[in-house]
């Protein structure tokens, strides 16, 4: 594969046009990076138009007669190849994406975009004043549009399945119900036991850590795990993210609180994990459908949003929040903050950054309680979409679920149902990615460290190259060639399996909290 500018044959012509779709999407990503890091707020209105124009141009080119002619010719040309051949897969993904986009009427998409543009400000104001009623009519309209989207896309089981397809193909409401039940069974006893246990010391995390020093530490730790800054850079933002403009330029951001140091550090490790995925996609796939999500219209090489999250969670939690990591790196972190961490040892630091406490806010939740925030959102979204829950009843349902799962009383809707940006932008069906990512991270990490003893030994010594090599070989380099479960089956011998994740949480938190 690859792009050489020569047009010959069906597949080459298909690669050429798919490469131009990728260029348009990457151009949008550059504008998006700028909007989230550098742009003055006055630019927001026109920038939104520019991004919409590029997205529409990419979709129109994807669904154009030129693409369809090249696609027909490519399918004929590759007809004798095996089903898992990379070029066959790339071709099939173009076909699938065109089918997907053509099922959604332009008029419906337009209404969704318009509503999303207006909804953001209404949501932000409602959150500021903790006034759900002010957002409810907009959310009702957004749920209605998403229901129409589900009907247009089509589904076999539950309309929510159609909405999740864009983010996590193959995931169903029925499958999530089974998965979530197993997670709750495994995790709730831990949450309950920890609520009764003695808290580890964490005062030293809340001292005053200079912003510049935090950014330096964040970058150095990202580089430690293998983030390549010849093809990347780190910047400061309010909401951290990773974004790539092909594997040659993969950027990360982190957020900094001067009074809570772990935020910048773990934010950077998380985003660097995402970045490692993109930086290690096979270079031959650059600009091809195997490095472009043509359904979601993002120029990314990761196979699903959940698979992407598996890489960020793996590096953040299984590596960055491990005991070995702090035995190896606390001295270096301490040296960056003279006098601030002199009274802490590696064991105390490890325990502090792994303390678990139920809270209201998803983005501040710890490794153990995070998934309950996700389960709650997926269950409520599915109920809104199938009509079994009315928007007016949503805050009550939210607060009841928070109480049931985590035992907390939500003080107001700003700290509850209004906390996430997702619904205002029209995104329903994406929250499952986070929990699927957690499960997949544990499954991959378990196989990597058990299967090859050299990897575990290297991690003990602060050497991340063997683990990174294994992940590159089994996950990253394949880009979008294999589905998520194909990838997992090839790497670990089975599709998505929650047991390694539950075992990981049980072992880690039982040890830290001295549970029986």
Residues forming the active site: 271
Q: Is 424 in the site for Zn ion (CB under 5 A)?
A: no
For Zn ion, the closer CB: 244 or 399: 244
Question: What pairs with residue 250 in β-bridges?
Answer: 244
**Of the candidates 424, 477, 471, which has an alpha carbon nearest to the alpha carbon of residue 452?**
471
Structure tokens at 333: 């972190």
Largest CA distance in the chain: 69
Q: Among the candidate windows 115-123, 289-297, 309-317, 451-459, which touches Zn ion by CB under 5 A? A: 309-317
Residue 260 phi, psi dihedral angles, 5° rounding: -155, 95
Residue nearest to Zn ion as judged by C-beta position: 312
| DSSP at 198 | P
Which residue do the tokens 């772990």 mark?
A: 262
For Zn ion, the closer CB: 147 or 270: 270
For Zn ion, the closer CB: 20 or 274: 274
Integer-rounded Cα Rg, in Å, for the chain is 23
**Of the candidates 228, 219, 167, which has an alpha carbon nearest to the alpha carbon of residue 472?**
228
**Of the candidates 176, 58, 51, 153, which has an alpha carbon nearest to the alpha carbon of residue 431?**
176
In whole angstroms, the minimum distance from the beta carbon of 274 to Zn ion comes to 6
Distance CA 208, CA 219 (A): 19
Q: Is 419 in the site for Zn ion (CB under 5 A)?
A: no
Q: Among the candidate windows 95-103, 160-168, 219-227, 311-319, which touches Zn ion by CB under 5 A? A: 311-319
| Interface with Zn ion (CB under 5 A), residue from 312, 399, 447, 449 | 312
Could you tell me the strand order of the sheet in which 242-244 lies? 234-236, 250-254, 242-244
In whole angstroms, the minimum distance from the beta carbon of 457 to Zn ion comes to 28
Distance CA 471, CA 475 (A): 5
Q: Among the candidate windows 103-111, 172-180, 310-318, 396-404, which touches Zn ion by CB under 5 A? A: 310-318
Q: Among the candidate windows 29-37, 286-294, 305-313, 449-457, which touches Zn ion by CB under 5 A? A: 305-313
For Zn ion, the closer CB: 16 or 371: 371
In whole angstroms, the minimum distance from the beta carbon of 312 to Zn ion comes to 4
In whole angstroms, the minimum distance from the beta carbon of 334 to Zn ion comes to 28
In whole angstroms, the minimum distance from the beta carbon of 167 to Zn ion comes to 12
Whether the Cβ atoms of residue 417 and residue 131 lie closer than 8 Å to each other: no
Site string for Zn ion, 254-293 (x = CB under 5 A): ----------------------------------------
Residue ranges that bind Zn ion, judged by CB under 5 A:
312
């Amino acid at each position: 594969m690859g792009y050489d500018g020569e047009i010959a044959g069906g597949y080459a012509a298909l690669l050429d046009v798919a490469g131009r779709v990728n260029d348009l999407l990457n151009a949008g990503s550059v504008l998006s990076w700028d909007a989230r890091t550098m742009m003055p707020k006055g630019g927001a209105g026109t920038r939104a138009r520019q991004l919409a124009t590029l997205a529409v141009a990419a979709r129109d080119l994807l669904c154009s007669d030129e693409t369809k002619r090249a696609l027909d010719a490519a399918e004929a040309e590759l007809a004798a190849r095996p089903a898992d051949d990379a070029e066959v897969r790339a071709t099939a993904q173009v076909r699938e994406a065109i089918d997907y986009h053509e099922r959604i009427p332009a008029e419906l998409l337009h209404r969704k975009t318009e509503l999303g543009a207006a909804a953001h400000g209404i949501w932000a104001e409602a959150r500021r004043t903790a006034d759900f009623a002010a957002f409810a009519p907009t959310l009702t309209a957004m749920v209605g549009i998403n229901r129409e989207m589900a009907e247009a896309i089509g589904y076999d089981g539950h309309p929510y399945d159609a909405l999740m397809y864009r983010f996590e193909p193959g995931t169903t409401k029925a499958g999530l119900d089974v998965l979530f039940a197993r997670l709750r069974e495994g995790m709730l006893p831990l949450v309950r036991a920890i609520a009764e246990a003695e808290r580890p010391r964490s005062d030293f995390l809340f001292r005053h850590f200079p912003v510049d020093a935090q950014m330096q530490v964040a970058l150095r730790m990202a580089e430690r795990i293998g983030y390549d800054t010849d093809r990347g850079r780190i910047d400061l933002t309010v909401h951290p993210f990773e974004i790539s403009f092909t594997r040659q330029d993969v950027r990360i951001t982190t957020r900094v609180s001067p009074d809570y140091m772990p935020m910048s550090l773990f934010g950077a490790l998380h985003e660097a994990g995402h970045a490692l995925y993109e930086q290690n996609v096979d270079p031959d796939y650059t600009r091809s459908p195997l490095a472009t999500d043509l359904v979601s219209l993002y120029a990314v090489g990761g196979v699903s949003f959940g698979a992407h999250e598996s890489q960020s969670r793996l590096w953040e939690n299984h590596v960055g929040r491990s005991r070995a990591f702090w035995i190896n790196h606390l001295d270096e972190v301490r040296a960056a903050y003279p006098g601030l961490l002199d009274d802490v040892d590696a064991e105390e630091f490890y325990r502090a950054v792994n303390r678990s406490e139920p809270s209201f806010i998803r983005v501040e939740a710890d490794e153990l309680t995070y998934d309950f925030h996700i389960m709650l959102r997926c269950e409520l979204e599915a109920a809104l979409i199938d009509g079994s829950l009315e928007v007016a009843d949503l805050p009550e349902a939210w607060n009841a679920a928070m109480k049931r799962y985590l035992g907390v009383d939500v003080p107001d809707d700003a700290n509850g149902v209004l906390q996430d940006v997702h619904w205002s932008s029209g995104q329903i069906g994406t929250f499952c990615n986070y929990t699927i990512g957690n499960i997949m991270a544990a499954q991959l990490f378990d196989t990597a460290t058990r299967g090859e003893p050299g990897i575990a030994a290297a991690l003990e010594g602060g050497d991340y190259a063997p683990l990174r090599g294994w992940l590159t070989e089994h996950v990253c380099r394949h880009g979008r060639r294999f589905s998520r479960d194909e990838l997992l089956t090839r790497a670990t011998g089975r599709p998505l399996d929650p047991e390694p994740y539950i075992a990981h949480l049980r072992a880690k938190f039982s040890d830290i909290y001295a549970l029986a």
